[in-house]
A and B are shown apart, each in its own frame.
Chain A
Amino acid sequence: MSASFNARNAVAALVVAGLVLLPLYTSLSGNVFALTLFTRIVIFALAAVSLNLIMGYGGMMSFGHAAYLGIGGYAVGILAFEGTGSGFIQWPVALAASALFALVIGALSLRTRGVYFIMITLAFAQMAYYVASGLARYGGDDGLTIYKRSDFGGLINLSNRVQFYYLCLGCLLGGIYLVWRIVNSRFGMVVQGLRSNEARMQAIGFPATRYRLVCFVIAGTLCGLAGALLANNTDFVSPAVMYWTRSGDLMVMVILGGMGSLFGPVIGAVVYLVLEEFLSQLTEYWALIMGPLLLLIVLFGRGGIVGLLGRLDRG
């Protein structure tokens, strides 16, 4: 990875600086809405970063990634509902539940390739969606209101907007750092090699499935963290966060920003959710504008926004 100055790195640095300084802007301008919006964006960016690990680097087109948002969220919500308010219990449970789910569906789905893999991950996520809808005790279809955010003692107060925002941002930057270390490690080389040419990797001695499965579990766990954050952000969790269109949103963020690039999913999440916010204020039919816009970027910007910036560098 070159540290030289180029448009790609400059935009990534700008985005990070903007995200870090955002609370300063909102406190000076009094624009609380921006903080609310960007808390949501940062959480979805984390989910997109986790999806990018399997989709962009690992070549595993999972169409069920939103399931972990729900699993992480329900872990927090159900524990809060049952009287366990401590984040030190809620969050590890959220991560463990997501990891376990990823392990089980990964072990089954990774036997398939291509379209079958897309369909089977979609099916598992929809299954999770219907299971959540059937949880009558926890609100069923209507979802579950969380009356008290995760309690981390005196360490951090999640009900404080700025503190919560920085917690989310910290998780996002931590997640990106983790992915960066992973993709350059021995493990990451193997996973990317498998994306490139599986037969070759097996011929030189790598058991493909177990490396893919571990990668799948890491990504699921990281997205479970985003789910725990999201539930705290909305004080609510419902089956809707697991619906297949949510998984589609995450895929779009990754593709829009640039698959297999470190900051691509973050840029994708910012652009996608900001556009969604503004277009939906303009018209009810905002998807009619968003759709063609996405098509244009995918058609003309192979490698997403980050890919476009890369071409800018080469002139």
Chain B
Amino acid sequence: MADPLLRVENLVRRFGGIAATDHLSLDVASGELHAIIGPNGAGKTTLISQLTGQLQPNSGAIRFAGRDITRLPAWRRSALGLARSFQITSLLSEFTALDNVALAVQAHDGHSFYFWGDARREKHLRDKALAALTRVGLERRAGVVVSRLSHGEQRELELAVALATSPKLLLLDEPMAGLGSTESARMIKLLQELRREVTIVLVEHDMDAVFALADRITVLVYGRVIASDTPAAIRGNEEVKRAYLGDQHVVTSNG
């Protein structure tokens, strides 16, 4: 196997006495859609935040495209081709959809110390942004202020913003969160198209979506990887059943 696009080695992150990430190692191969699942509190978002640089690990290493990025700030990782969507929608709410995406394009088009020209009239920024919006089916909502978009549209916009940075690796933190069944189906279809273009790490609670999309699945419990394998193998893994499904079983049998 060639070198993985993303390699996480022995990552540790503690909050007080609790290890939210506990000697976690993980490989994501170029071109795959790698899902990360686990019960609530397994440390999925903590992991994503360390991958994108919002949070610093206590120890361990993160290598991206052969380069050690463990101590790089978030904006530098973005420049290297790492993009994320947020679990809780995190957009520029008083800007239009197009402005949100155009800023993401601008971030990857040299520095932004230009004080004079009108940024909204820079055609190549707007064109690229519109292309990303079209990609997620939002082109007709380009001029709408984010706070007036529906929740589902905002989730799609999150994706368009991430895509506009032309990432090598897309980290999606529960893109399906809060979506209705029609919207979820649309999102799954969209991800099915995107996976052909870009490597994706998907954190998701929706098991139908995960098993429909993933090439590989990593299961986290209490900050540790208990299994990392193909969907079929994960389905049959006894330890996963115990740790993941078993928890609920214990709860119901006690109650």
Interface residues of A (CB under 8 A from B): 181-182, 184-190, 192-193, 196-197, 199-208, 211, 214
A185: contacting residue among B53, B93, B115, B164, CB under 8 A? B115
Interface residues of B (CB under 8 A from A): 52-54, 73-76, 78-79, 83-84, 86, 90-95, 99, 102-104, 106-108, 112-120, 122, 161, 164-165
A205: contacting residue among B78, B95, B115, CB under 8 A? B78
CB pair B108 A205 closer than 8 Å: yes
CB distance from B234 to the nearest CB of A (A): 29
Given contacts A197-B90, A206-B75, 11 further A-B contacts (CB under 8 A): A184-B119, A185-B116, A186-B117, A187-B112, A187-B114, A200-B86, A201-B92, A201-B107, A202-B73, A203-B78, A203-B84
CB pair A204 B107 closer than 8 Å: yes
CB pair B91 A205 closer than 8 Å: no
What separation, in Å, do the CA atoms of A203 and B76 have in the docked complex?
9
CB distance from B247 to the nearest CB of A (A): 31
Q: Which residue of A lies closest to B85 (CB)?
A: A203
- Indicate whether A185 sits within 8 Å of B118 (C-beta atoms), given known contacts A200-B90, A214-B113: yes
- Indicate whether A196 sits within 8 Å of B112 (C-beta atoms), given known contacts A202-B75, A203-B52: no
CB pair A203 B74 closer than 8 Å: yes
A188: contacting residue among B90, B92, B119, B164, CB under 8 A? B119
> What A residues does B74 contact at CB under 8 A?
202-203
What separation, in Å, do the CA atoms of A85 and B112 have in the docked complex?
39
CB distance from A313 to the nearest CB of B (A): 17
What separation, in Å, do the CA atoms of A199 and B45 have in the docked complex?
15
Instruction: Please list 9 pairs of residues, one from A and one from B, whose beta carbons are closer than 8 Å in the complex, sorted by A's number.
Output: A181-B116, A182-B115, A188-B115, A190-B106, A196-B94, A197-B93, A203-B54, A205-B104, A211-B112
CB pair A204 B118 closer than 8 Å: no
Number of A-B pairs whose CB atoms are under 8 Å? 96
CB distance from A11 to the nearest CB of B (A): 23
- Indicate whether A200 sits within 8 Å of B92 (C-beta atoms), given known contacts A185-B115, A187-B112: yes
CB distance from B172 to the nearest CB of A (A): 12
A196: contacting residue among B54, B93, B102, B116, CB under 8 A? B93
CB pair A205 B75 closer than 8 Å: yes
What separation, in Å, do the CA atoms of A206 and B117 have in the docked complex?
19
What separation, in Å, do the CA atoms of A197 and B54 have in the docked complex?
14
Instruction: Choose among B52, B84, B114, B115 the residue with the greatest number of A CB atoms under 10 Å from its CB.
Output: B115
CB pair B120 A205 closer than 8 Å: no
What separation, in Å, do the CA atoms of A43 and B21 have in the docked complex?
56
CB pair B119 A189 closer than 8 Å: yes
Instruction: Choose among A188, A189, A204, A207 the residue with the greatest number of B CB atoms under 10 Å from its CB.
Output: A204
- Indicate whether A204 sits within 8 Å of B165 (C-beta atoms), given known contacts A193-B103, A196-B92: yes
CB distance from A212 to the nearest CB of B (A): 12
- Indicate whether A190 sits within 8 Å of B103 (C-beta atoms), given known contacts A202-B74, A207-B75: yes
A184: contacting residue among B53, B75, B118, CB under 8 A? B118
CB pair A185 B95 closer than 8 Å: no
> What A residues does B93 contact at CB under 8 A?
196-197
CB distance from B167 to the nearest CB of A (A): 10
What separation, in Å, do the CA atoms of A205 and B82 have in the docked complex?
9
CB distance from A103 to the nearest CB of B (A): 15
Q: Which residue of B lies closest to A191 (CB)?
A: B112
Q: Which residue of A lies closest to B108 (CB)?
A: A205
> What A residues does B116 contact at CB under 8 A?
181, 185
CB pair B106 A189 closer than 8 Å: yes
Q: Which residue of A lies closest to B103 (CB)?
A: A193
What separation, in Å, do the CA atoms of A206 and B105 have in the docked complex?
11
Q: Which residue of A lies closest to B79 (CB)?
A: A205
Q: Which residue of B lies closest to A211 (CB)?
A: B112
> What B residues does A205 contact at CB under 8 A?
75, 78-79, 104, 107-108, 165
Q: Which residue of A lies closest to B52 (CB)?
A: A203
> What B residues does A199 contact at CB under 8 A?
54, 86, 90
What separation, in Å, do the CA atoms of A205 and B112 have in the docked complex?
11
